[in-house]
Structure 1
């Protein structure tokens, strides 16, 4: 079991917060960079949620 598998909920929670911190460090006027950073840090929790959904074992529910 890797780091991502054992901390997936924490990553889903704090990746957007990390993305906001990165966006705050981008200089003013770099709107395209801010949009790309925001899109990436919004997409990563979605990817993790899909991974979590497929890894869920319904027989144990």
Structure 2
């Protein structure tokens, strides 16, 4: 199913973001943040801007 593939891709990006932040790979983390934002703002996205911010913030906190 297409929606499942999109969900899986976003979950993988979030995991990659967390790993990049833990390992202090700042350029990679910046790129992955942009990819997550692009995936979240696709036509099927329903999350608000604050929800996306909280997701990125949670990943940042988990990386510490």
Q: Same fold (TM over 0.5)?
A: no
TM-score between the two structures when normalised by the length of structure 1: 0.45
TM-score by length of 2: 0.44
